[in-house]
Structure 1
Amino acid sequence: MAVFPPAAAREDLLGRLPAGARFARPSKWHITLAFLGQVEDFRTAEVAEALAAAPRPPAFRLRLAGAGRFGAVIWTGVGGDVQALGELRESVRVALDGAGFTIDTRPFRPHLTVSYRTERGLSAALEGYAGPEWPVTGIALVESLLGNYHTLHEWPLPPGGQ
């Protein structure tokens, strides 16, 4: 389950990265709400049903901001209404857990992975970064297949505080 920044937010981030740097494809840039790993095809409908029933907060605004690392992974953080994002994540977690799908129990640290390898200059280029705000209007259930993401289902957030 993920939130995908709009093209304008991805383009702004891309413009901040140093020329020649190696990074994940911008089309794959997202904020993970829950990672399930391998799910049998016949259980995908169960995941979708659980997520469809999950309460969702009204639409809210986020921005990509700052930088950090998890080992070799370089990421940009998330600013804006991170409380609403956390509530959305918790709702997704509870719905999936109730349907028998356990997700990572580590504390939620919203971020967007820019690169999966230590890349000279990326962290420095992202230090102090604050991208444009954008409305979060929905979430997506995504499948990774041969290195590409395919959206299986999308759910809108109710109109509101964007």
Structure 2
Amino acid sequence: MNTHFFFALVLPDDIKAYLYAVTEQLKSEFPFKKWLHPADYHITMAFLGNAPDSLKKDALERVERELADETSFELKLDGIGGFGKNESPRILWAGVQKQERLFTIQKKIYDSCVEAGFELDKKPFKPHITLARKYEGESPFSLEGVRQIANLEGEHFEAVQVALYQTHLGAFPSYEKIFTINFQ
């Protein structure tokens, strides 16, 4: 079976529950092909794809070393947006306020994976929490309409953990934590 791996910032359960409650309000008016299970909410730091165990092990050891002295920090949700065409986005996401610590930690993870031999996406890091995939409504999508229902500004949470996840295609939830790294 073709499976994928990625490093991600783990979200606390209360924020997952909050985001899920928001998506429950959106589902009836904004039809997406797939709404993510709340257990799958996260912020991707480095997508590894399919990889041999030796490469994953090397990356994990490097990431663990790089994050050994990191402490927890606060993040705030900051709005909702989409990737793709305005009238039919492929991703609906929740954003977080720009926080330099998040970018520093993501760079440490990204660089560690590259040093281990992974070829990673070179697009700039845009921290987000995917909520839904593939808009399939008959009328054009309205981000303004979503924002009238879902105000995600101001909810805050403590970032305390990064995990290496494995994707289980077709499962619900789809992502399994296979190793976690706790901040101090």
Aligned to 2:74: 61
Aligned to 2:175: 149
Q: How does 1:1-16 map to 2 (within 5 A)?
A: 1-16=7-22
Say if 2:46 is the partner of 1:34. Answer: yes
Q: What is the Cα deviation at residue 103 of structure 1?
A: 1.5
Q: What is the Cα deviation at residue 119 of structure 1?
A: 6.0
Corresponding pairs, count: 157
Query: Which secondary structure state, in structure 1, belongs to the residue aligned with residue 95 of structure 2?
Result: strand
Letter in 1 for 2:181: W
Distance, in Å, in 1 between the alignment partners of 2:50 and 2:135 is: 27
Aligned to 1:52: 64
8 Å CA contact 1:12–1:131 kept in 2: the answer is: no
Distance, in Å, in 2 between the alignment partners of 1:91 and 1:3 is: 13
Q: Kindly report the root-mean-square deviation, in angstroms, between the aligned alpha carbons of the 2 structures.
A: 2.1
Distance, in Å, in 1 between the alignment partners of 2:92 and 2:13 is: 20
Superposed CA deviations along residues 38-62 of structure 1, whole A, max 9, x for unmatched, are 1123432222212112145321011
Superposed CA deviations along residues 60-110 of structure 1, whole A, max 9, x for unmatched, are 01122201111121111012x621100000011111111112221110000
Q: What is the Cα deviation at residue 25 of structure 1?
A: 1.1
Aligned to 2:130: 113
Letter in 1 for 2:49: G
Distance, in Å, in 2 between the alignment partners of 1:35 and 1:68 is: 21
Aligned to 1:74: 92
Q: Name whichever structure is richer in strand by fraction.
A: 2
Q: Which has the larger radius of gyration?
A: 2
Query: Which secondary structure state, in structure 1, belongs to the residue aligned with residue 71 of structure 2?
Result: coil
8 Å CA contact 1:16–1:125 kept in 2: the answer is: no
Query: Which secondary structure state, in structure 1, belongs to the residue aligned with residue 51 of structure 2?
Result: coil
Q: What is the Cα deviation at residue 129 of structure 1?
A: 1.7
Identity of aligned residues (%): 25
